[in-house]
Amino acid sequence: MSSEDRPPPEQGAVLLNGAPKRTPSLGQEAVEEGGLQARGQWASKVEFLLAVAGQIIGLGNVWRFPYLCYKNGGGVFFVPYLLFLVLCGVPLFLLETSLGQYTSLGGVSAWRSICPLFGGLGYASQVMILHGCVYYIVILAWALFYLAHSFQEVLPWAHCNNTWNTDTCVLFDSQNLTASGVGMPVNATSPVTEFWEREVLQLSSGVDELGPVSWRLALCLLVIWVVCYFCVWKGVKSTGKVVYLTATFPYLMLAVLLLRGVTLPGAAQGIIYYLKPNSTRLADPQVWMDAGTQIFFSYGICLGSLTALGSYNKYNNDCYKDCYKLCLLNSGTSFVAGFAIFSVLGFMAQEQGVDISIVAQSGPGLAFIAYPRAVAMMPLPQLWAVCFFLMIIMLGLDTQFVSLEALMTSVTDLYPAVIRRGHRRELLLLLVCVVCFLVGLVMVTPGGLYVFQIYDHFSCSGASLLLLSIFQSVAVGWFYGPDRFNDNIKDMIGYHPPAIFKVCWRYLTPAVCTATFVFSLVRWSPLSLGKGLAAPGWATGLGWLLTLSSVSLLPLWALYALITTPGTLRQRVSLLCQPTKDSPLALKHQLSGSPLTFLPVLSLNEKTKEPLADML
């Protein structure tokens, strides 16, 4: 078998159990020595690419990037966006995917293997994934609720004759306002807003009034969780097949909506608003902050997912080229989605006779208010509503279950002897899904939207991601060594990545992330819950606890490692800042009787390159 076709070393159990095992052939349901189930790997390179694409290309590409581009100077927004992409996005993306591929381990075990002092990076990222699994899936429950109502003869958010509508419900279109000869009533509300607030959410007046669980939203949430469970329950064998649908179907729907959008009257005006350059906006620091946070959110950096997905690759997979392909696909999707969204917003603005700034929104406001209102104005509105909400569900679904797969990978690699037996993995996954579903029920109550906003703002906030990015760069750039990491990548792909990556890992990426992190703290403001509501003090306190539940694991793990490691303080720090000598790569050579090395590209009977002691 050639080196290109050689499967990756099965390393997880060796690292944690110190026992050799048989490497299964591709596609086999092999059982390793000791009765452990095979860790598995991608059946093809396409599965890996689609899984990563499904993870990183999500709702933020459709409902966040186009709005940020419009708000922050149109075409000039690409200046800070591309700068952050080159200095932070691509280097960290390559770092995480190649780390997983090199170690064949999930996020936690991989960091503990190459630099034990920074093992907290893995734990923190898994806690952030767990938080994300709780609240992100609620968006899909809302979208499923809308999808179910999109098959009615008349869309319920297109008129004011529903039982939930109030006397102040008004159809906001230019014909009605012109015919009445008066302006828009001061306290008027639109039918789409009333459908969202009074029918879907049954929104309360504040986070203090949670109210009972909405059984209809709870049922939608349950359906989505069941789908997620069966997408992940067999590991990469099931995940790798599902992504063929979930990662490609949104592109079909996006293409359909784009073709429909650009043919609508007013579409050109919307696209002009989307891209019209305003160079003066570059002087606003908030524009640069928005560009940086968008990169971190949309590329799935520091969540451990990229490391877990990369760990199922063949050892000699060209992760460097994959990195560029996926980054180009991600940013390209965001750019094209802007045309699909703003062409429709331009049409809606023309139909209502208002400026596009009145109708342009971001986040849930775009998905559940602005776009449904625009759809209601089109011919065959049911068709376009079904296409749009199917796209939203598919975009979010693969992000959700791939994140869940990454979490299960990390936990399984930590305790392979316990979990990789019988049906224990499936039972553990079921337990995780049930617990997350039960916690998520609080977000399908009348006050659930406020809880959702607190989760979204604090649990996976930009500041948390930036902090993890800084420590990731420091761990590789200053402790493990950028030269060594670059050599590790060469061992896998056969050539060195450009030297600029070493400069980024050591200097540029931590510097840019630190500056952005400090700026985010300086410009921090209390969370606004909408309609003039500010989060109460106790809610903000709970939010900060969510943040600390992940980032606090960085110092806590480092302190624990220092306490439990023998030797003087200097010896402990020195030992914890170098690759573990019981790492799978080291143990392979110990078992074969060859000199200890951390460069595993050589087969066990080949002459090794450099002893670990000399390299350290």
Phi and psi at residue 401, to the nearest 5°: -75, -25
CA distance 355 to 351: 10
Both tokens of 418, joined, read 């316990």
Q: What pLDDT does 595 receive?
A: 44
575-585 pLDDT, tens digit each? 898 888 655 44
Q: Quick one: tokens of 126?
A: 């898994």
CA distance 71 to 273: 9
* Residue scoring higher pLDDT (385 or 19): 385
Distance CA 476, CA 491 (A): 17
Q: 383: helix, coil or strand?
A: helix
CB-based contact 379:347 (threshold 8 Å)? no
Nearest Cα to 367, choosing from 61, 154, 152?
Answer: 61
Q: Among the listed ranges 198-202, 280-284, 358-362, which one has the minimum average pLDDT value?
A: 358-362
Work out the pLDDT band at 562, boundaries 50, 70, 90: very high
The answer to whether the beta carbons of residues 133 and 404 sit under 8 Å apart is: yes
Question: How much is the pLDDT for 213?
Answer: 94
Least confident of 431-445, 502-516, 592-606: 592-606
Q: Which range is least confidently modeled, 66-80, 466-480, 602-616? A: 602-616
In this prediction, residues 479-496 reach a mean pLDDT of 93
DSSP string, 98-160: HHHHHHT--HHHHHHHH-GGGTHHHHHHHHHHHHHHHHHHHHHHHHHHHHHHTTSSS-GGG-S
Distance of CA 173 to the CA centre of its chain: 37
Q: Average of pLDDT values for 129-143? A: 93
Which pLDDT score is estimated for 344?
Answer: 87
pLDDT of residue 8: 39
With a cut of 80, say whether residue 4 has pLDDT above it. Answer: no
pLDDT at residue 90, as a whole number = 95
CB distance 148 to 223 below 8 Å? no
At 433, the pLDDT band (50, 70, 90 cuts) reads: very high
Around Cβ 568, how many Cβ atoms within 10 Å? 8
Ranges 184-193, 491-500, 594-603, most confident: 491-500
pLDDT beyond 70 at 422? yes
* SS3 category, 200: helix
d(CA 117, CA 501): 23
What average pLDDT does the chain have?
Answer: 83
* pLDDT for residue 32: 54
pLDDT tens-place string over residues 158-181:
989 999 998 888 886 644 544 444
Average pLDDT over residues 81-99: 94
Q: With a cut of 60, say whether residue 23 has pLDDT above it.
A: no
Q: Which pLDDT score, from 0 to 100, does residue 172 have? A: 65
pLDDT tens digit sequence for 59-85: 888 888 888 888 888 888 999 999 999
Q: What is the pLDDT of residue 212?
A: 94
Q: pLDDT value at position 173?
A: 61
DSSP string, 449-478: HHHHHHHHHHTT-HHHHHHHHHHHHHIIII
Contacts by residues 202-209 (CB-CB < 8 Å, ≥ 24 positions apart): 202/446, 203/446, 203/447, 203/449, 204/445, 204/446, 204/447, 206/447, 206/450, 206/529, 206/533, 206/536, 207/447, 207/450, 207/451, 207/454, 207/529, 207/535, 207/536, 207/539, 208/447, 208/536, 209/446, 209/447
